[in-house]
């Protein structure tokens, strides 16, 4: 990997920025494999399988910019707050990460500065340029989740994660349900996470935003990616075409009420 961020060009007035926090299983050469066998980097603990391809397909469909990470979440998790205890994982879904076992505060700060911060900065700068070009951009974050967790199958084909801003989340949920998709509403994860990417760039700024997860077996192959890109493009177009979506609206985060 040459840079911590991949930036895909697109129209600054497209009205949407696609982002992918966990796009890649790659590691900088200096970190080797963090003491793990190669097979672990094919698992969800290293990246969100299929999410990068889905992000690129949606960016192309909308002629919109996209920003993706180029490093594994095992190095440092871009979707965690700077002081989150899970920022650098020492144990992930049963896998001990030897290269993270003895990591100290100085090393975590180095990883934040070299990898975590450039991604956050790239998203912030692109949003600023898009706001200057108009209209106010929506943020759509793409992730994927495993079909099984602790031996239990997950029934959802997709999930919509959100904190308190309903502008994209509710229409996307309703549209997917209308298509017969089994979709989780803040399941299997909760979208209210203080310090995560959308908390910083959406909840805290008033920009419209949503996180969409697709089950990994649905998008592990090109055919599935194309099918879901088409489905999500159809779902997103009406809400992104609504001028009311493109406003600065502040909603109280659910994390503040806990």
CATH T-level assignment (fold) for domain 5-250: Aminopeptidase (3.40.630)
Q: Which of 110-114, 248-252, 253-257 has the lowest mean pLDDT?
A: 253-257
User: Can you tell me the distance from the alpha carbon of 38 to that of 54, in angstroms, rounded to the nearest whole number?
Assistant: 24
pLDDT in tens, 238-252: 999 999 999 999 999
pLDDT in tens, 177-218: 999 999 999 999 999 999 999 999 999 999 999 999 999 999
**Residue 99 corresponds to which tokens in the numbers above?**
């290269």
- Give CA separation, 60 vs 23, 194, 226, 232, in Å: 16, 30, 11, 13
pLDDT in tens, 77-110: 999 999 999 999 998 877 789 999 989 999 999 9
Strand (E) or helix (H) holding 158: strand 158-161
Confidence of residue 10 (pLDDT cuts 50, 70, 90): very high
Check: pTM over 0.85? Answer yes or no.
Answer: yes
The alpha carbon dihedral of 108, 186, 51, 46 has a sign of positive
């Amino acid at each position: 990997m040459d840079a911590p961020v991949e930036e895909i060009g697109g129209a600054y007035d497209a009205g949407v920025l696609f982002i992918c926090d966990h796009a890649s299983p790659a590691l900088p050469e200096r970190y080797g494999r963090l003491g793990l066998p190669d097979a672990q980097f094919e698992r969800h603990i290293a990246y969100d399988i299929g999410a990068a391809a889905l992000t690129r397909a949606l960016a192309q469909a909308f002629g919109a910019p996209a920003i993706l990470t180029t490093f594994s979440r095992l190095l440092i998790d871009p979707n965690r707050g700077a002081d989150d205890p899970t920022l650098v994982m020492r144990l992930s879904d049963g896998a001990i990460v030897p290269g993270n076992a003895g990591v100290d505060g100085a090393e975590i700060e180095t990883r934040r500065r070299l990898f975590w911060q450039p991604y956050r900065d790239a998203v912030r700068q692109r949003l600023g340029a898009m706001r200057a070009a108009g209209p106010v951009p929506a943020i759509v974050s793409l992730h994927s989740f495993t079909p099984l967790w602790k031996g239990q199958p997950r029934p959802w084909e997709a999930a919509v994660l959100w904190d308190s801003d309903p502008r994209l989340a509710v229409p996307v949920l309703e549209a997917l349900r209308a298509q017969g998709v089994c979709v989780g509403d803040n399941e299997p994860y909760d979208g209210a996470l203080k310090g995560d990417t959308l908390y910083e760039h959406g909840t805290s700024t008033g920009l419209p935003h949503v996180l969409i997860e697709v089950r990994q077996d649905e998008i592990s192959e090109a055919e599935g990616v194309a099918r879901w890109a088409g489905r999500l493009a159809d779902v997103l177009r009406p809400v992104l075409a609504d001028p009311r979506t493109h406003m600065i609206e502040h909603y109280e985060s659910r994390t503040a009420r806990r």
